[in-house]
Structure 1
Amino acid sequence: MSLVAEGSEPLASGGWPGEAKGRVQSGSIIRTRDGVDLYYRDWGTGRPVVFLSGWALTSQMWAYQMQPLSEQGLRCIAYDRRGHGRSSDPGRGYDFDTLADDLAAVLDALDLRDVTVVAHSIASCELTRYLSRHGSGRIARLVYLAPVTPFLLKTPDNPDGIDAATFEYVRNHFYLRDFPGWLADNARPFVVPETSEAMVEWLMSQMRGCSMKAVIDCNRAMTSTDFRPELARIRLPTLVIHGDKDASAPLELTGRKTARLIPGARLEVYEGAPHGLFVTHLERLNADLLAFAKS
């Protein structure tokens, strides 16, 4: 099925699949058209599932999905966003157009088709923009996992959003002064009380390694971009999974609205699940992902 309504055209700046958007540079590196090296993991064989990581996190976050699912007939692929993990830190390109083009580079370089894309948190923005810029030729199914779409900013037509000044205050007074300290202070609501300190430290270590340029620019893009029109144009089977205890992206502001905007989307609400449900509710999540990817 096509993302774009009949008679409409893709954005000229993005182009359609089939152009050379990226190529495998060596081993586990894909080079984009603007010279950025993206590190990726590629485990298993079968129908491909591409995992897109949350804000400031890396492809490591998907370890507890990729390992079991790769043993159950799925090819599991994840990559580090530019400025994250083992990918290049170019100091540019943290807008959603460029990040969507990075996803296109990965899909193109590995020639992936019939793909299920699982997008956590900020990656819901990248995935939505990818579909607007590149179409749905390579994509079969979508999973929006604890998304931050459709629109976080408070505006006259989005009165339950958050004031721009609040976002800017957090960036200037916490991220840019003591990002590791802010992570430590806010780690526990990301998980559940039963989550081990070692698991929390593992997650924070990924985030502490993120480029500060990426931390700020990605956050600024995430908190200011309106994806409502783009979500309404999606025409693919879509599963939205969200926890009702998500402090980072409250269900009523994000996941429920996202599911309502995408025609035919199915919303699964995990009771008691936080934003880090990929580690706190991994058995249920993995079962849902396996069933959906093989549907």
Structure 2
Amino acid sequence: MATLRVNGIDVHVQRLGHDPDVPRPVVVLIHGLLIDSLASYYFSLAPRLADEGMDVVMYDLRGHGRTSRPPTGYRMEDFVRDLDELLDALAVEGPVRLVGNSFGGAVAYAMAAAHPGRVTGVVAIEAEPPARAWAKNMYEGLVGEQGGQVVREVTAWLRENPGERNARPFRAAGRVLDETALAREIPLSALLDEDLSAIRCPVLAVFGGASELSAQTGMLEASLADCRTVVLPDRGHSVLVEATEETYVLVRDWLLRPEAHALREAR
């Protein structure tokens, strides 16, 4: 467990499988928004990817978990700068592969676009690139005409379950929404061009078949130079929880694919 000063905030980071004497491929796991933290990866992907010989980095996004919660600074470019400086602080010199769940997938896409030499692949789980459609969805979920659907759901859950033992993630989400400008700032983020040409690395996009986001598979395959999409039938937005084993196998096999090893060796 460590806290590093990054981009003016204290970032909580965990690392599994790191061995300074044995170089391993670095995989950065990026969690989702509000009701999430790096802890979600402890119970899904992280330990097993480390067992496969990967150097696994997890961190709490700004405003989340044990990372600082500044009142402002929640545009996508802030999240990207956090990650870029975190890699510097960890002395990660070579290119990394990013695995992002939900909002974390948008961060991964944005990082790959902003720093193409630093990212050798993206796995986006139930996520969309931060382009115009993403900004519209973020606005409707976080702001909207009546406070945003996500904000209303968190508020309603807290009101209806004041003594629930499992309320910690919802209470944390409530604090983020009450104490920061996150809801207002995220929809104002700088956006990628609609053709997604800035994303040049290979991409694996995983969706739940019952999720509205699965409709973007055709667009991603047409827009990205190297993209594989997988839809898990009868799963919703929370595929990392609903289909942990299936998701793990997809992510592991994609990260360990022969061409990924060839690319790493070439670098």
Could you say which TM-score interval applies, normalised by the shorter chain? 0.7 to 0.9
Name the count of aligned residue pairs: 242
Q: 1:232 is matched with which residue? A: 197
Structure 2 matches for 1:64-143, cutoff 5 A?
A: 64-112=44-92, 113-133=94-114, 135-143=115-123
Tell me if structure 2 keeps the 8 A contact 1:180–1:208: no
Instruction: Report the CA distance shift for 1:174/1:261 in structure 2 as closer, same or farther (over 3 A).
Output: closer
Gapped runs of 5+ residues in structure 2?
19-23, 258-267
The DSSP-based 3-state class of the residue aligned with 1:209 is: helix
Larger helix share, 1 or 2: 2
1:269 to partner: Cα distance: 1.0
Q: Distance in 2 between matches of 1:129 and 1:170?
A: 28
Q: 1:179 is matched with which residue? A: 154
Q: Distance in 1 between matches of 2:244 and 2:158?
A: 22
1:206 to 153, 169, 173: 169
The DSSP-based 3-state class of the residue aligned with 1:51 is: strand
Cα RMSD after superposing both structures: 3.2
Gapped runs of 5+ residues in structure 1?
1-26, 155-160, 186-197
Q: 1:288 is matched with which residue? A: 250
User: Share of identical aligned residues, percent?
Assistant: 20
Q: Distance in 2 between matches of 1:235 and 1:41?
A: 28
Instruction: Report the CA distance shift for 1:173/1:43 in structure 2 as closer, same or farther (over 3 A).
Output: closer
Give the TM-score normalised by structure 2.
0.77
Instruction: Report the CA distance shift for 1:183/1:244 in structure 2 as closer, same or farther (over 3 A).
Output: farther
Q: Deviations over 1:225-253 (max 9, x none)?
A: 6434472222111111111112xx5311x
1:44 to 1, 8, 17: 17
Instruction: Report the CA distance shift for 1:100/1:221 in structure 2 as closer, same or farther (over 3 A).
Output: same
Q: Distance in 2 between matches of 1:101 and 1:163?
A: 20
Tell me if structure 1 keeps the 8 A contact 2:16–2:50: yes
Query: Are 2:211 and 1:251 equivalent residues in the alignment?
Result: no
Give the TM-score normalised by structure 1.
0.71
Which structure has more relative contact order (CA 8 Å, sep 6+)? It is 1
Instruction: Report the CA distance shift for 1:106/1:218 in structure 2 as closer, same or farther (over 3 A).
Output: farther
Please identify runs of 4+ aligned residues in structure 1 that moved more than 4 A: 161-167, 182-185, 213-216, 222-226
Query: Are 2:144 and 1:168 equivalent residues in the alignment?
Result: yes
The DSSP-based 3-state class of the residue aligned with 2:225 is: coil
Tell me if structure 2 keeps the 8 A contact 1:128–1:227: no
1:60 to 35, 39, 42: 39
Tell me if structure 1 keeps the 8 A contact 2:75–2:189: no
